[in-house]
Structure 1
Amino acid sequence: MNYTVKFQTEPEYKNIRYGGNSIYNSACGPASLCNALKALGIADISIPTMCNLAVSCGARVEGGTDEAVLLRSAASKYGFEWRSTSKNAELLSHLKAGGAAILHAGSTYKLFSNSGHFVAAVAASGQTITVLDSYWYSGKYTASSIRRNYVSVVSKGVVKTSLTQCGKATIDRSPSYYLISKPAPAKKTEPKKEETELVEKTKFEIGGEKFTLDAITKNGTTYVCLKQYNNVLGLDTGYDAATDTRAVNFDQLNIAVNGTEHTVPGLIAGKGHSYASVPDLLKLTGCTVGWNDGSIVVTSSEGDV
C-alpha cells in the first residue's frame, strides 16, 4: 500500500512556531497524529492545523507534546476512538484489525530518533510493522548500526521494522502506544414490534339474555370491548381527549366523569377499540361476574342486569 506522509521537516516549517520552538524541530506529536488519521481515511489535516489544536487544548508542553491531551481533543473534533497500552500483543492485534497507532519512542534505544519521538504505525504483516516517520532527513536510517540492522526503508518517510524493535524503542515510555481506530458503526435498532392480541367472540349472559361480544384473554384476565358492552347495557360511551381516558356513563358510576378517574385495567386493540378488564369494569357498575355453561354471566347486586 502507498502512503502519503506529512513531514514536519519541510523547509517552511523552520519559521513556523509551535509553542516555544518550531514545527520543524518539535511537532512530531501533531505530525504523527496527522499521518495516522490520513492513513485510516478519517481526516486529512495539515501539520500547522494540528499544532494549533495542540496549543489551544493545552497539549503543547515544555519539551514536546502531551499526546493523550491532544488525542482527547482531536477525537472529539475529528471523530475517532483511541486508547493507550504498553503491550506489544495489543499493538499487533490492533494494527492487524485495521487500526493505526502512535508509538512514543524514548531515548534509551535509539531506533527512530536520538531522543524522544512520535511516529505512526499503520500496518502489520506477521511480526513486521509499517511505520510513517514525519522527521525525515537523508541518511537517517543508515546513521547507526541499530537502524541499519533492524529498519528497512520502503520509501521516503515509510519504514518497516519488527514488533520486537518497536517494543525496545518505546521501553522507557509509558504508555508506549496510542491505538487509534475509526468509530464503531452505530448499532441498528430494530423497530419495536407492536404487540398484537387475539380478539375472540366471547359469550356473555347479561340480564338472562345471551350476547356474543368481542373480548381478549390475556394473562388469565378477560377484557371486553367497552363499546359493545355499553351498547348491551344501554350506557353512553365517550372519549375525553384531554385525559386520554375512555368515559363510561351509568348513573353516578363512571370510569371518568368531569376529570375524576377510576383506573380500570384495559388496553387498546383492533381499530382503536378499548377493552376493559371485565372484573374491574363490573365492580364499578355494581356487578359481579361468574361462569355458566361456557358463558360469562354478569349479575348486579340487585339481581341479573
Structure 2
Amino acid sequence: MKEEEILPKLLSCFKETVEINQLIQKEINGKDIFDSYYESDLYKERIYKIQDLDTSIGILIGRLYKTSINLNYYYFDCPSQVYLNHIEEREKIYFDENIEADEKDFLLNEIQYFNNPEVNRSLDFGNFDCYSYGKYIDYEERFKITIRRKLEYLSQRLEKYNLTVDIQEETNIIDDNGNMIGYGTEAIVRTKIDKEIEPIETKSKNQLTANQIILLLQEIGFFIHPKIEDASKVKQAELISLITGLHQKNIKTNIQKLDKSVSENGANYQRDIDKINKILDDLV
C-alpha cells in the first residue's frame, strides 16, 4: 500500500466500524437483552467484521507512524520531527484561544497534553471526522522514545523560566483526583533549584517501576508489619514515597491493585509479578 493511501484507508475502516456498531444498536433497540439476536448468524457476522476491521486499523496505525514524516501528518504519537514541524501552528492556535497566555503557559499546556495519552490519542481527518485510536497501540519502545524527545524539547524551552521536566517511563498516569487515567510516560515539571537540591537519578534499564516495588514489598512482608498493616493506604503510600522518592499518588494506585485480581490489573501486571519472583529466586 502506498503512503498516501494509508490515511484514506484508515478513515474508511473507522467509518465502517462505526456504521456496523450503529446497525447492531438499531437491530437490538427495544429488544430483550436475552433475545436470540445475540446468537444469530447476522450478529456473529457483524462482530467478525468488526474484529477484522480492528486488525486492519492496528496494522495501518503501525504503518502511519513510519510514513507520517513524509506525509507531515500530525497526531499525538507522530515522530518528534513532525511535531516540530507543527509546533508553531499549535502555538498560534493556543494563543488565539488564550489571549492572555504567554510562552510559559503554552509549554506547560503541551506537557499536560502529553500527560494525557488516553484522551488525546485521536486521528483528525478533517470534515469533523475524528477517531480515537488508543486501543489499537501498545506502550512500545518507539512511542516511549518519541514522547521522550518531545518532552526533552519542551524542557529545553522551559529552562529560561527556571523550570525543567522529569520524565518517568513505565508508570501509571494519575490525575489530580488520584485516579489512574493511563499507563505510560509521565512528565513532572520542577524548578531547576529543586532539582539541584533534590537530584533525581535517571532510571536505569533495570530499575524497578512503582508497581514492581509494591509487589516486592508485598512479597517480603512489608504490608503485614503490625503498624503498617493497620495504616491507611494513604499513609502507606506516604511511607513508601519517603523511601523511594516516587510520586505518592502513583504509589497509592499500585497499592490498591493488591486488592484486585491479576486479570483485572492486566497483562503487564502478571509480567511484573514474574519479574519480582525471579528477582527473589535469584537471591538463593
Task: Specify the TM-score bucket, using the shorter chain as the normaliser.
Answer: under 0.3
Tell which structure's C-alpha radius of gyration is larger.
Answer: 1
TM-score, with length taken from structure 2: 0.21
TM-score, with length taken from structure 1: 0.20
